[in-house]
Amino acid sequence: MVTQSSVEKFLDDLASGNPTPGGGSAAAIMGAMGAALVSMVCNVTLGKKGYEGVEAEMRAILQESERVRRRLTAMVAEDIAAFNGILAGYKMPKSSDEEKAARASAIQAGLRRATEVPLDCARVCAEVIALARRASEQGYLNVISDGGVGVLAGFTGLRSAALNVYINAPHLKDRAFTEAATAEIESLVGFCAAESEAVYKIVRGKLG
Amino acid sequence: MVTQSSVEKFLDDLASGNPTPGGGSAAAIMGAMGAALVSMVCNVTLGKKGYEGVEAEMRAILQESERVRRRLTAMVAEDIAAFNGILAGYKMPKSSDEEKAARASAIQAGLRRATEVPLDCARVCAEVIALARRASEQGYLNVISDGGVGVLAGFTGLRSAALNVYINAPHLKDRAFTEAATAEIESLVGFCAAESEAVYKIVRGKLG
């Protein structure tokens, strides 16, 4: 599992000419870093004098941010598996008409999965942004910049995942699915662009 | 060294209530991921049929992107050391006037370092964005979304580093330094916001 290798090894693998890990894996890790920073704000705030009133809220946010962090971390492997599915399809034999049909069908199934995984990554990154808002509005002031980095990482994870939808979706023959996926990702990007800038402004306003 | 631990362990440490690693380390890693993705575009493009004409340019970009990747990876440890410097200052004795003066001076030195490191991180992330433009303009079309994720990661690394300048700089007594650092970071954020959106548009235009 690529997330069990060191940060330096992961960066080496990302930089290499191998197709995976690539931008899709980086998207999931940025989302996971965003979720981790939301958790950090909650963990630091819990037990701080003057923040007793937000303790229940911090515990509620933390439970969610840890859930989405696990989900996004697991998506790195899903992204790699999806890409390998496309490659495996392209390597299938194509001598007979039957083989050609089976190969085309395997490639389409791989492309669909390579569209579904980043779409799902984008949905979960949207959750990171919503959690970062709650943590940044009420969390301990001295770690508020960490909440700000969390929302930026969450939105960049989402936008990066969107690029992976844009590159794969046009090659799908199932036009209804492509159109639904594209419409959903456009809507997520639009809504979360405004939302993450609003959270950034809250954080920036609390700094010097 | 935190970058030698696994990605999962790094995320656990980021999520914990310990002050480091925090948003500053996440900023450096996002910048390093951006540089790694620029390297990936170059590595995949090198040797591809039809891309012989950009081979020298890809090699030149790759040399730079690997240099800035090493620099940004090393900044994670620098960010942690800078923060620990502030903490060490706060823990110094303050019984006598001399001790108080030494303590205040150590805290100021720590804060200055904790402003210089993210400022430097932002400068190097600006290099990532410039390299991502060259790679995205001329790199292999099938990995162009990776160049796009690279520029988004580079700019988010820069903006995240800026938040760390904003949180530390106001506490510095050296006003001339604070003003110069703030002016430089504002200028970097402004220029690179426009530049990274321009690169994103190039990438988006090449996708379906």
- Nearest Cα of chain B lies from the Cα of A55 at a distance, in angstroms, of 14
Which residues from B are below 8 Å from A4, CB to CB?
A: 6-8
Q: Give residue-wise pLDDT tens across range A157-183.
A: 999 999 999 999 999 999 999 999 999
pLDDT at A184: 98
Confidence of residue A55 (pLDDT cuts 50, 70, 90): very high
pTM of the model: 0.97
Chain B residues with CB under 8 Å of A22 CB are 37, 40, 143, 146, 149
> A107-131, pLDDT tens digit by residue?
999 999 999 999 999 999 999 999 9
Residue B1's pLDDT is 84
The per-residue pLDDT of chain A, averaged, comes to 97
- pLDDT tens digits for range A59-98: 999 999 999 999 999 999 999 999 999 999 999 999 999 9
> Under an 8 A CB cutoff, do A8 and B3 touch?
yes
Which residue of B6, B11, B143 is in closest CB contact with A5? B6
Nearest Cα residue to A137 out of A53, A67, A71? A53
What is the residue-wise DSSP string for chain B? -GGGSBHHHHHHHHHSSSSSS-HHHHHHHHHHHHHHHHHHHHHHHTT-TT-GGGHHHHHHHHHHHHHHHHHHHHHHHHHHHHHHHHHHHHTS--SSHHHHHHHHHHHHHHHHHHHHHHHHHHHHHHHHHHHHHHHHHHS-GGGHHHHHHHHHHHHHHHHHHHHHHHHHGGG-S-HHHHHHHHHHHHHHHHHHHHHHHHHHHHHHHH--
Name the residue in chain A with its Cα closest to that of B167.
A207
Instruction: Collect the ranges in chain B with pLDDT lower than 50.
Output: none
By Cβ distance, the residue of A15, A66, A152 closest to B156 is: A152
| Shortest CA gap A100–chain B (Å) | 23
Please give the residue of chain B at the shortest CA–CA distance from A8: B3
Q: Residue A208: is its pLDDT beyond 80?
A: no
User: Looking at CA atoms only, how far is residue B95 from chain A in angstroms?
Assistant: 25
Quick check: B15 and A156 CB within 8 A? no
pLDDT at A85: 95
Mutate to test the interface with A, among B16, B152, B178 (most CBs of A within 10 A): B152
CB B29 to CB A40 under 8 A? no
Q: Do B146 and A23 touch (CB under 8 A)?
A: yes
Q: Do B4 and A8 touch (CB under 8 A)?
A: yes
Q: How confident is the model at residue A1 (pLDDT cuts 50, 70, 90)?
A: confident
Searching chain A, which residue's CA lies closest to the CA of residue B16? A40
**What pLDDT score was predicted for residue A156?**
98
pLDDT at A160 (0 to 100): 98
Residues A12-44: tens digit of each pLDDT: 999 999 999 999 999 999 999 999 999 999 999
Closest residue, chain B, to A208 (C-alpha): B170
Collect all residues of chain B within an 8 Å Cβ-Cβ radius of residue A111: none
**Å between A40 CA and nearest CA of chain B:** 4
- How many CB pairs (< 8 A) connect A and B? 191
